[in-house]
Chains A and B, each alone.
Chain A
Amino acid sequence: MPKDWPLWEVFVRSKGGLSHRHVGSVHAPDPEIALRHARDTYTRRMEGVSLWVVPSASIIASDPSEDAAMFDPAEDKIYRHPTFYNIPDHIKHI
């Protein structure tokens, strides 16, 4: 049966104030059942206070074959990290 069911990505908010985090996926025939499956699969041990399910097909992912073009250029831009800069002594409260 599950092979006919679409896949859903599951996001759990572990406590109020934190953002939802991706925890895995479930198979389910529709959104309501997907939410229940997510609840029964990923929040059995008090892991969460809120759940999102998203059809996996709706997620637009980067292409792994274009990893180099996507991510390599950031590698040598260390000046993009705030720690790259020396803070002058007379600057307080930073």
Chain B
Amino acid sequence: MAVELNLLTVLPGFPGGGPRVAWWRGGAQRRAWLLASLAPSTAFQAVPSPANAGEDKLMPSLPPIRPEDEVLAKERRGAGTFDAPAAEGPDPSLFEYALRLGDDSLILGQRLSEWTGHAPSVEVDLSLANMALDLIGQATHFLNYAGEVEGKARDGDALAFHRDVLDFRNCMLVEQPNGDFAQTMARQFLFSTWQKMLFQHLTGSTDTFIASVAAKAVKEVTYHQELAQEWVIRLGDGTDESRRRMQDGLEWNWRFVPELFEMDELAIEAASRGVAPDLTAFRGDYELAVRSVIEEAALDLPQSQRPILGGRRGHHSEHLGHLLCTMQFLPAPIRMRHGSLGPEARRGGASLVGACKRSGS
């Protein structure tokens, strides 16, 4: 039996999440059947016992079923070794994938909110704040879900405010500094164009929660994409100064684009389970969309630069530490003062100090 179990667990590519449970149930039935077929045939041979002889012609070897046995059987239903439903254990890869989605939105939302009160006009201030709020709303959904999947009693707040920089899974593009308004809009355009296509695909995810959040968010992101695109065109095709600034903004952010389409092990697994799309499927569309806007804006397509990767594995640029320092400074002490945190979260709070020291502020 041990050999059989090991074989099953090492089978590659077994489906996870909902389907995985069904699969294990199937496995349990198969194993039960296997066990029965392997059992010595004598175990099922009728051996009439003197006490029960004649009471039950079909199964003379078994004692008669008493009413109290039936009550017991009812109480214990599902408690047997083979008929128990497979426990829905944590799904580490789904947790990681939800973190990626949540962290992208969270970090960009935080970045955009830095503009509040500093934008070129009160109307632009509101545009940027609206986008930031949309993104933070998405992050709340994705991070709460990640916490649920993880099963360690961490909610979205705990994940946002009590993780250290190495545990963030956002892409490098979203953590890049705002620079001037043009650089912010270049980043927004490059990211929102990608995020819109991603969410369009995610509405068909086999994970119904991710699909439903994506369906709501795709409308928000469509607006972000359009707004950013309008600004790229206006600044690119504007004055000499606005063109120079927009070109610089694009050049700054360009090297972080390849990471958006990186198909690492986790992305491949998520795609094979139908949780996430194969990112390469819309890379062509993305390049076409970006290229046409750059053309319309009379900007130069930046030269391809050495791609910077690693955000999805927690290797971030120095900018993220500073961002977290600001974002996590307030919640940690307040929540700890109220004593509402467990030891796990306290460690997160303590490590925040480390992040601040490292980033030199």
Given contacts A33-B230, A36-B230, contact A1 B130 (CB under 8 A): no
CA A2 – CA B234 in complex, angstroms? 15
A28 within 8 Å of B by Cβ? yes
Q: Give Cα distance in the complex from A28 to B121, angstroms.
A: 9
In the assembly, what is the distance between CA of A33 and CA of B123, in Å? 10
The reply to whether B120 and A26 form a contact with Cβ atoms under 8 Å apart is no
Q: Does B317 have its Cβ within 8 Å of any Cβ on chain A?
A: no
20 sampled A-B residue pairs with Cβ under 8 A: A1-B120, A2-B120, A2-B121, A2-B123, A5-B121, A26-B123, A27-B121, A27-B123, A28-B123, A29-B234, A32-B230, A33-B230, A36-B227, A37-B123, A37-B124, A40-B123, A40-B127, A41-B123, A44-B126, A44-B130
> B interface, how many residues as a size bin?
10 to 19
Min Cβ gap B305→A in Å is 31
Contact with B along A20-45 (1 / 0, CB 8 A): 00000011111011001100110010
User: Is A33 a contact partner of B126 (Cβ separation < 8 A)?
Assistant: no
B121 pairs with A1, CB closer than 8 A:
yes
Chain B residues near A36: list those with CB within 8 A: 127, 226-227, 230
Mark each residue of chain B from 126 to 146: 1 if its CB lies under 8 Å from any CB of chain A, else 0.
Answer: 110010000000000000000
CA distance A33 to B124 in the complex (A): 10
Contact B120 A40 (CB under 8 A): no
Give Cα A72–Cα B124 distance, bound, in whole angstroms. Answer: 43
Given A1-B121, A37-B127, A40-B127, 14 more contacts at CB 8 Å?
A1-B120, A2-B121, A2-B123, A5-B121, A26-B123, A29-B234, A33-B230, A36-B127, A36-B230, A37-B126, A40-B123, A40-B126, A40-B130, A44-B130
Contact A33 B121 (CB under 8 A): no
**Docked complex Cα distance between A33 and B229 (Å):** 11
A29 to B124, CA, bound (A): 12
- Inter-chain CA distance A28–B130, complex, in Å, is 17
- Tell me, in angstroms, the Cα distance from A29 to B123 when the chains sit together: 11
Which residues of chain A from 44 to 60 have any CB-CB distance to chain B below 8 Å in the complex? 44
Nearest 5 pairs of A and B residues by beta carbon: A37-B123, A2-B121, A40-B127, A1-B120, A40-B126
- Looking at the assembled complex, report how far the CB atom of A28 sits from the nearest CB atom of chain B, in whole angstroms: 7
Residues of A4-26 whose CB lies within 8 A of B: 5, 26
Q: Which positions 195-228 of chain B face chain A at CB distance < 8 Å?
A: 226-227
Chain B positions 242 through 253: 1 when the CB is less than 8 Å from some CB of chain A, otherwise 0: 000000000000
Chain A residues with Cβ under 8 A from B123's Cβ? Answer: 2, 26-28, 37, 40-41
Determine the chain B residues whose CB is within 8 A of the CB of A33 once the complex forms: 230, 234
Q: B226: which A residues are within 8 A, CB to CB?
A: 36
Q: How far is the CB of A87 from chain B (nearest CB, A)?
A: 52
The CA of A32 and the CA of B227, in the complex, are separated in Å by 10
Give the shortest distance, in Å, between B260 (CB) and chain A (any CB). Answer: 25
> Which residues of chain A come closer than 8 Å to B124, judged between CB atoms?
37
